[in-house]
Structure 1
């Protein structure tokens, strides 16, 4: 019943964990090969073949030879994603430019409310104009 000592279990878990980490690194390297703009088609094909035919050695060589540019590409992609997200949030919030836009819906609604408060518009006219602005 005690054929598998606890130390062997720890070694098995360690090797399994290292294998999972290597798989993540392999996928990261393969995606970096395809994402790299400074490699041509033959270069990408060569690195892909080396990485797939000699998996451990190929990944290790790629990280040694192209690790610095791999990190730069990852950082640049993260900055581009962050800039795109910020632009999306500004666009969705209606503040695409730092200064307020002239003639925006908020300004028009404010003017309509002021006209209604002064009595220049009836409630029915106000609702029609507001509906036109919001549609």
Structure 2
């Protein structure tokens, strides 16, 4: 008799597979949160890790019950910080330097695309 001949055996196998990966995901989220939390002392981190090693399922559940709210707050703060760093990098890369802006405006004025007054206005915006 093949393993996949019985439909309910297949469903049970899928459930076990899903539960195992959900547990691994939760375990890694807890471990990541432990090391991301700067308010928790090193000794408490070591205690949590010991419990996670020897009693993993109960420790993950206890951690999520005891520290779940702080876990969500730390995750949101990390996401905000990452977004701010990404935005700052994009602004840094996307904006041209004042010298480049003035050179572009000068080239446009030399080509006759803009007037000297427009060139001076662009130059005053960039220099400020």
Range class of TM-score, shorter chain: 0.7 to 0.9
**C-alpha deviation, 1:6, in angstroms:** 1.1
Return 5+ residue gaps in structure 1 as ranges.
Answer: 96-100, 118-135
Task: Tell me whether 1:111 sits opposite 2:106 in the alignment.
Answer: yes
Q: Which has the higher helix share?
A: 2
Q: Distance in 2 between matches of 1:115 and 1:63?
A: 66
**C-alpha deviation, 1:16, in angstroms:** 1.2
**C-alpha deviation, 1:109, in angstroms:** 3.2
For 2:21, the equivalent position in structure 1 comes to: 20
- Tell which has more relative contact order, 1 or 2 (C-alpha 8 A, sep 6+): 2
TM-score (norm 1): 0.74
Q: Distance in 2 between matches of 1:2 and 1:41?
A: 51
RMSD over equivalenced CA pairs, Å: 2.0
* Aligned residue-pair number: 111
Larger radius of gyration: 1
Q: Deviations over 1:3-59 (max 9, x none)?
A: 752112101110111111100110110111111111011011111111111000010
Return 5+ residue gaps in structure 2 as ranges.
Answer: 113-128
**Closer, same or farther: CA 5–116 of 1 in aligned 2, 3 Å:** closer
Task: Tell me whether 1:85 sits opposite 2:86 in the alignment.
Answer: yes
For 2:49, the equivalent position in structure 1 comes to: 48
